[in-house]
């Protein structure tokens, strides 16, 4: 078989954990990216029976296997149109992602970095300041960065301000862009009863996309967002259109989730609307 035959279809490599129940990470990205007619190729960072928001869960670290796993992809000379990196749990994993970028980020590859580190002005309990500092080393590889406001503030080394205005958001993104990413989406900014996504593209006016906030915050919503965005970009959509698509889909899925009275731990029931994506 010719090596190029593996590359006839668009592909996105997704580097994230695999969660069996709870609708987050690879378990979200795989069906969504596939539904958008792009092949999803997962590289697990760890494996969970269910996510850490439950009282009990089984977990195994996949770090020792990641290098040999991606070496096999290298032997196949796979070309990825997109690379989507999500939650990373150790400095070693961040180093592995850097190596992945060196191996597979070629001309025509769009790298989307979702720096999952914290929310509401604080790092997640499992995330140390040392690990957060290591995340900076991935920014030069990012074509598109998708932090929330907390993560953007940490990465730019500025105080968190929940009431930041548009000028402040623009300056925050401009500072982040100096480290590598020329396109940035600060997602999930709370504005009263709405959620705002602030879109920065170098040399273009900023764009703000808002949707009414539906229900409570749920795990996996960010994974839905970044998966739609990455697949849309690979499929040729403009960034603003991709953000509108992702935001609108999430709002509709959240409304359906509320209708079905889905427990908070169980995430967002996007499957109900997957044929409409």
Is residue 211 within 8 A of residue 224, CB to CB? The reply is: no
Find, among 274, 202, 237, 276, the residue nearest to 82 by Cα: 237
Could you identify the residue written with the tokens 């999952």? 116
Q: What residues pair up with 212 in beta bridges, in sequence order?
A: 194
Domains defined along the chain, listed by start: 3-263 (3.40.1190.20)
In sequence order, what DSSP letters do the residues of 95-152 get, joined into one string?
Answer: HHHHHHHHHH--TTPEEEE----EETTEE-TT--HHHHHHHGGGGGG-SEE--BHHHH
Running DSSP on this structure, what letter comes out for residue 45? E
Tokens of 112: 């989307």
Tokens of 185: 């989406």
- 277 residues of the chain, pLDDT tens digit each: 555 688 889 999 999 999 999 999 999 999 999 999 999 999 999 999 999 889 999 999 999 999 999 999 999 999 999 999 999 989 999 999 999 999 999 999 999 999 999 888 898 887 888 888 899 999 999 999 999 999 999 999 999 999 999 999 999 999 999 999 999 999 999 998 899 999 999 989 999 999 988 887 888 899 999 999 999 999 999 999 999 999 999 999 999 999 999 999 999 999 999 999 9
Q: Write the CA distances from 225 to 28, 221, 261, 274, integer angstroms.
A: 10, 6, 22, 13
**pLDDT attached to residue 1:** 54
pLDDT tens, position by position, 254-270: 999 999 999 999 999 99
**pLDDT attached to residue 215:** 80
Find, among 263, 269, 265, 222, the residue nearest to 55 by Cα: 265
CA-CA-CA-CA torsion for 171, 101, 38, 260, nearest 10 degrees? -60
d(CA 110, CA 80): 8
Find, among 98, 114, 124, 108, the residue nearest to 16 by Cα: 114
| Type and span of the H or E element at 192 | none
Is residue 136 within 8 A of residue 179, CB to CB? The reply is: yes
Q: What residues pair up with 85 in beta bridges, in sequence order?
A: 15, 113
**pLDDT attached to residue 2:** 56
H-only helix segments in the chain: 26-35, 63-75, 91-104, 129-135, 149-156, 166-177, 221-234, 239-259
Running DSSP on this structure, what letter comes out for residue 78? -
């Amino acid at each position: 078989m010719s090596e190029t035959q593996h590359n006839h279809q668009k592909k996105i490599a997704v580097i994230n954990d695999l969660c069996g129940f709870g609708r987050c990470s690879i378990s979200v990205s795989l069906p969504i990216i596939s539904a958008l007619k792009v092949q999803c190729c997962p590289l697990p960072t760890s494996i969970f029976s269910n996510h850490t928001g439950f009282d009990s869960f089984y977990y195994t670290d996949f770090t020792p296997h990641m290098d040999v796993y991606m070496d096999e992809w290298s032997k196949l000379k796979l070309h990825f149109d997109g690379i989507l990196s999500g939650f990373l749990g150790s400095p070693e994993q961040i180093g592995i992602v850097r190596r992945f970028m060196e191996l597979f980020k070629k001309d025509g590859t769009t790298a989307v970095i979702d720096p999952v580190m914290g929310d509401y002005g604080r790092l997640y309990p499992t995330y140390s300041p040392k690990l957060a500092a290591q995340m900076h080393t991935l920014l030069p590889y990012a074509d598109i960065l998708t932090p929330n406001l907390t993560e953007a503030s940490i990465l730019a080394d500025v105080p968190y301000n929940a009431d930041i205005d548009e000028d402040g958001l623009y300056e925050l993104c401009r500072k982040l862009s100096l480290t590598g990413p020329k396109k940035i989406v600060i997602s999930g900014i709370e504005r009263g009863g709405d959620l705002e996504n602030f879109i920065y593209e170098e040399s273009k006016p900023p764009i703000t996309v808002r949707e009414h906030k539906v229900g409570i915050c749920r795990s996996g919503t960010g994974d839905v967002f970044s998966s739609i965005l990455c697949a849309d970009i690979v499929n040729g959509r403009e960034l603003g259109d991709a953000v509108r698509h992702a935001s609108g889909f999430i709002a509709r899925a959240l409304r359906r989730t509320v209708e079905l009275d889905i427990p908070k731990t169980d995430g967002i029931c996007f499957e109900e609307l997957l044929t409409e994506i």
